[in-house]
Each structure stands twice: as C-alpha cells, then as structure tokens.
Amino acid sequence: MTTQQYDYIVIGSGIAGLYSALLAVEFGSVLILTKGGIADCNTQYAQGGIAAAVGPEDSPNYHFADTLAAGAGLCNEEAARILAEQGPQAISELVRLGVIFDTADGEVALGREAAHRMPRVLHAGGDATGARIELTLSSLAHHSRIHVQEYTTTSRLLVEGGRVVGVAGLVNGEGDEVEYLATHTILATGGAGRLYRYTTNPEVTTGDGVALAYQAGAAVMDMEFYQFHPTALRLPGAPPFLITEAMRGEGAVLRNAHGEAFMTGYHPQGDLAPRDVVSRSLLTEMRRTGAGNVVLDATHMPSERLAARFPSIYNFCLTHGLDITRDPIPVSPAAHYMMGGVLTNTDGETTLPGLYACGEVACTGLHGANRLASNSLLETVVFGQRVVRRSLEGGWSGPWPEGVFPLEAEPSEEAGAPSIEGLQALNWSNVGIIRSREGLEEAAGVFAAWEASAPEGGDRGDRELANMVTLGRLMAESALVRQESRGAHFRTDFPETSEAWLRHTVFMKQAD
Ligand code: FAD
Ligand code: SIN
C-alpha cells in the first residue's frame, strides 16, 4: 500500500469536482480521483442548461421564490438565497473560464423550463450545455499542480481521530487499496440514478459518495427525495437518453396514446408544471390508456429551428431511426436527480471534519423536496467556490443534525442474493415515483438482508453493488419514515402534505 500526500483530494471529475479543483489549485496541490474517464459523469449529459437571474426582467428574488415553490416547503432558505443571489456571478465565472453560452440577436439566449416563471436558463451548443462545460473545465485541469487520476475508484474514506485524512482507492478498479492523504477531502461523486431500472444517468452514478460518507460516520439527509424526469426517451434498442424539458419550454406538447394533450387537465402550468407533477401525470395517463409511454410532440415546430436548437437530441434520435421534426418522440419517466445526500452546511462542510461535499452528492437542503430545473449545475459553481474559500479559513464549523432516525428494517428471509438488476427492479417498483408502506417495507427488508450478507472488499463492481445496497436501504427507510406526500415523494397511504413533516430526515451510522 503506497501513500501519497496532497493539500486537496477531490473525488469526481464532473463540474463540482473540476470547478473546485481549479479553484483549490491556487492554494495547494490537488489530486482528482475519478472512477472512469474524466468525462464519465452526469455533467457531460446536461442538456437544458444552467439557471441564473441574468435576464432584463428577472431578479434573484424571483429565482429564489421559484426555487422555494418547487421545493415544496422544505428548501433551506439560506442556501436558496445564496444560490439565487450569487447565480449571475457564477455565470461570469464560467464565462471567464471559457464557457461560451448561446446568444440570440447579440444577447444571451435564455431557455424556459418547468416551474420557472420566465425564461432563465442559459445554454451552450443548443442542448449540449453539460458537454461544453465539461470540455472547458477538463482542459483547464491539465495543470502542473493538479494530478488527474482516471479509472481509480475511491473505496473508503480514511478517518483518524474523527477527522477525514484522505481516501483509499482501487487503481483500475481492482487490486489492493492505495492510500492518498490530504488536508482537505472534497466529495464530488455525483448522483445515484443507476439505483433505478430506468434512468437518464450514465453508469458511474452508483451513489458511492453518500455510501462512503455514511459508512465513515457522516450524516446523510433527505434520501427519500429522488427526482424522476418525465421525458426520457423510450425507444427500443436506444440507451438511456434525456429529452430536455427545454423542448417543452419551446412549445413541444405531451400527448397520450389517443393523441390528446393531457397536462392542462392536471396542472394550471400544463406541460411546464413541476417535474414531480408531470411524472406522476404521465404514469396515470400510461396506466389509463394501457400504453408503455406517452409522446412528446414537437412536429408543429419549424424543422430547421428544432434541429438547430436541439442538435444533440435531433441527431441522437435520427441515428436511432426517429426524425423528431416529423414524428412524436416516445417518452416516459426515469430516475434523474438525487435531492438528498451528504448533509452539509452552506460552506460544504459535512459532519466529519476534513470532509467537504459539493454538487449532486451534497445536501444543503437547497432543493427541498423537488429541485427546480437547471439549478444543479449552478449549485456546483456557487457552493464549490464556498468550499474552497472555507478550506482556507481553518477550524471546522460543520453542521450538526437536530435529530436522527434509526435504521429499523429487519432483514427479509426471502431476499435471495443481491444483484444490480434485482436492486434496480426493486427500487423502481417499490421506491419509485409512487410508493406505499407495504412496498417500502418489503424493499427495506431486502436491502437489510443484502447489507448483512454483503462481502467486504472486492473490485469496483463489488464496491458499487455494496454502495447501492447501502443507498437503497437509506432511501427506502427515509421514505418509510416520512408519512406524507411532498414534492418528489408520493405515498398512496399518505397522499396529503402534512405540516408535521416540515422537517428533514437524517440518518447517521454511529447513531444506529
Ligand atoms: P457528476 O457530474 O455526476 O460527476 C461525478 C463524478 O464522480 C464522476 O466523475 C464520477 O465518475 C465520479 N465518481 C463517482 N463515484 C466515484 C468513486 N467511488 N471514486 C471516484 N470517482 C467517483 N442539471 C442542470 O442544472 N441543468 C441541466 O440541463 C441538466 N441536465 C441533465 C441531463 C441529464 C441527462 C442528467 C443525467 C443530469 C442533468 N442535470 C442537469 C443534472 C446535473 O447534470 C448534475 O446534477 C450535475 O452535473 C452533477 O455534477 P457533479 O459534479 O456533482 O456530479
Ligand atoms: C433538462 O434539460 O430537462 C434537465 C434539466 C435539469 O435536470 O435541470
């Protein structure tokens, strides 16, 4: 076991990891560990864009209010205020680093997405915003004091005397663990879409960061809130692929199997209703009509404009035999974004000194019960900057949860052996868009049994499965604890929102 020492270790090479690393390198040496190639991350696939109150009619107050409304009462208002107010500055930062946002008539072009009161979403390359950001930041990471180590899976956080002092990793995802030490460790491992059978996320999204932090003793929060995007492509033979909400913002319409535009019957904002509402409405329509999908119809839009505004979607669909200028796009909901995560304060400090979290893996409570579209890319820049600034100040003032819940499920005797496919199917059916006590209890029992029987160690695949089991259990038990419906969390046995549940769910290993 060799050991290397750095000022900062950043785990993950999406926007949160790369941006934090580029700031941190001004103050010390940086190691970026990433388990795939540098661009294997959610960031690479972001389409719609990045929200910020930069338009002439807009204001941070409006952005703040829309964030709170989408979050269904549970947003951390301090975090939402910081995000909205520092949003325009964060955009300037990305421009300074070389990101070129699209313009129209000499002004920055702003797209419209669900639950935003006005067009507010900057985009790049039409629907290639994430890819453009990832390319720009990763090219800057070729720096003499940043060492980017690809194909290295972080397998453990190293804790000494209650402080995180580094990480252990598997080079090429296998073999003996190598230790890397650092003064500051920044978790930027992204989300966990791969826990579900249907997802918009790429393969690396197995929730490792939350599992690693939880196993090391950090608090995790709001794991019941998982966002399902209503419009993932459902085309036989095509891999997971998102059809951006911005397309509805430009006038595309959801239709059921009878060709009827149905969303205005469900919500006054129609096709641009909050994501959780649209996803549940789609499921209802699919069940009502007996169809496996609905369609997104953009055929009434001028063909040239459609292809120019959404080139990635246009080309992807065309290579799979679908011309979106002529044919409606088959879509259905898929797991998309993890609102919960490792509990942090608004400086990215976790409950473990030495460990920061930033990006989709972190949970300041900013998104509450449901994230406002295109707030996540912005979050990484605004809070990444705060993480690095805080690391320079010394001391530790991390958050402390007001109360924690115990994990209670008894291991099921009928769980069988764990497998990724089994886990994805179970999570999709029992911890998905529509939940019930019965289904959640069954899932929690199976996860508890799988956790009890999981072998220690192993290669990247073994570690990912173990991490997914840990997350599955946390999600199922959080969802069981929350006896109400709010935002992305909907329970048939508690269909109403309850004042009594205006609180967060926190789990912490030592507390068990
Ligand atoms: P990621 O970009 O996912 O990066 C995580 C990194 O951690 C990866 O490099 C991964 O390999 C690495 N990693 C994970 N585990 C380990 C481990 N054990 N060891 C080492 N490395 C590890 N948000 C918006 O705001 N606007 C959008 O338009 C938008 N569109 C989206 C479209 C799609 C299809 C998807 C999937 C998401 C979209 N989102 C959008 C959400 C947004 O892209 C993500 O929330 C954001 O990119 C997360 O950035 P991140 O850096 O936190 O994580
Ligand atoms: C989309 O483009 O529809 C996704 C935007 C987001 O997830 O924020």
Evaluate: CB of 431 within 6 angstroms of ligand 2: no
What is the DSSP track for 288-333? HHT-S-EEEE-TTS-HHHHHHHSHHHHHHHHHTT--TTTSPEEEEE
The two three-digit tokens of residue 156, written as one number: 């453990």
Which residues does the annotation mark as catalytic?
Answer: 275
Q: Cα(332)–Cα(375) distance, rounded to whole angstroms? A: 22
pLDDT at 455: 82
- Tell me how far the alpha carbon of residue 262 lies from the centroid of ligand 1, in angstroms: 32
pLDDT of residue 512: 43
CA dihedral 428, 433, 434, 439 (to 10 degrees): 30
**Longest alpha-carbon distance in the chain:** 64
- Name the residue with the closest Cα to ligand 1, atom 30: 46
Work out the burial of residue 390: count CB atoms within 10 Å of its CB; fewer than 13 is exposed, 13-18 middle, 19 or more buried.
Answer: buried
Domain over 1-225+339-401 is classified CATH 3.10.20.600: no
- Measured distance CA(301)–CA(80) in Å, rounded: 35
What is d(CA 260, CA 287) in angstroms, rounded to the nearest whole number? 15
374 CB near ligand 2 (under 6 Å): yes
User: Is the Cβ atom of 246 under 6 angstroms away from ligand 2?
Assistant: yes
Contact in structure between 344 and 357 (CB atoms under 8 Å): yes
Question: Please, how many CA atoms are within 13 Å of residue 176, restricted to the half-sphere of its CB?
Answer: 5
* Cβ proximity of 404 and 506 under 8 Å: yes
Q: Hey, CA dihedral for 375, 379, 89, 79, is it positive or negative?
A: positive
Ranges in the chain, pLDDT < 50: 511-512
In a mutational test of the pocket of ligand 1, which residue from 212, 214, 377, 387 has the highest number of ligand atoms less than 8 Å from its CB?
377
268: left (phi over 0), alpha (psi -120 to 50) or beta: alpha
Contact status, residue 298 vs residue 247, Cβ threshold 8 Å: yes
What pLDDT sits at residue 4?
87
pLDDT at position 175 = 93
Distances (CA, A) of 196 to 165, 305, 404: 32, 34, 26
- Among the four given CATH numbers 3.40.50.300, 1.10.150.120, 3.90.700.10, 3.40.718.10, the one describing domain 228-333: 3.90.700.10
Question: In this structure, which ligand is nearest to the CA of 215?
Answer: 1
- Ligand 1: atom nearest CA of 240 is 34
Site residues for ligand 1, CB cut-off 6 Å: 11-17, 33-36, 40-43, 45-50, 129-130, 153-154, 188-191, 200-201, 204, 208, 242, 337, 359-361, 374-377, 380
Neighbours of 12 (CB within 10 A): 30
Read off the tokens for 478: 């959080």
Separation of CA 105 and ligand 1 centre (Å) = 32
The sign of the CA dihedral 460, 183, 351, 161 is positive
Q: Which residue has the tokens 């300041």?
A: 364
Shared fold status for 228-333 and 402-507: no
Q: 147-196 pLDDT, tens per residue?
A: 999 999 999 999 999 999 999 999 999 999 999 999 999 999 999 999 99
Q: By the 8 A CB rule, do 380 and 16 touch? A: yes
Task: Note the pTM of the prediction, 2 decimals.
Answer: 0.97
Amino acid at site 80: A
- List residues bridging with 379 in a β-sheet: none
Query: Which residue in 502, 511, 512, 438 sits closest to 476, CA to CA?
Result: 438
Report the alpha-carbon distance of residue 211 to residue 226 in Å, rounded. 16
Atom of ligand 1 nearest to the CA of 209: 15
CA dihedral 374, 113, 192, 79 (to 10 degrees): 40
Residue 364 CB burial class (10 angstroms; 0-12, 13-18, ≥19): buried
Q: What is the pLDDT of residues 205-254, one digit of tens each?
A: 999 999 999 999 999 999 999 999 999 999 988 998 999 999 999 999 99
Give the sign of the dihedral formed by CA 46, CA 292, CA 303, CA 57.
Answer: negative
Question: Could you give the CA distance from residue 367 to residue 281 in angstroms, rounded to a whole number?
Answer: 21
Query: Which ligand ends up closest to the CA of 51?
Result: 1
Q: Which CATH architecture has domain 402-507?
A: Up-down Bundle (1.20)
Element (H, E) at 140: helix 129-140
Locate 288 and state its tokens. Answer: 């009502």
Annotated domain spans of the chain: 1-225+339-401, 228-333, 402-507
Determine the distance separating the centroid of ligand 1 and the alpha carbon of 48, expressed in angstroms: 14
Helix residue ranges per DSSP H, 431-512: 437-453, 460-481
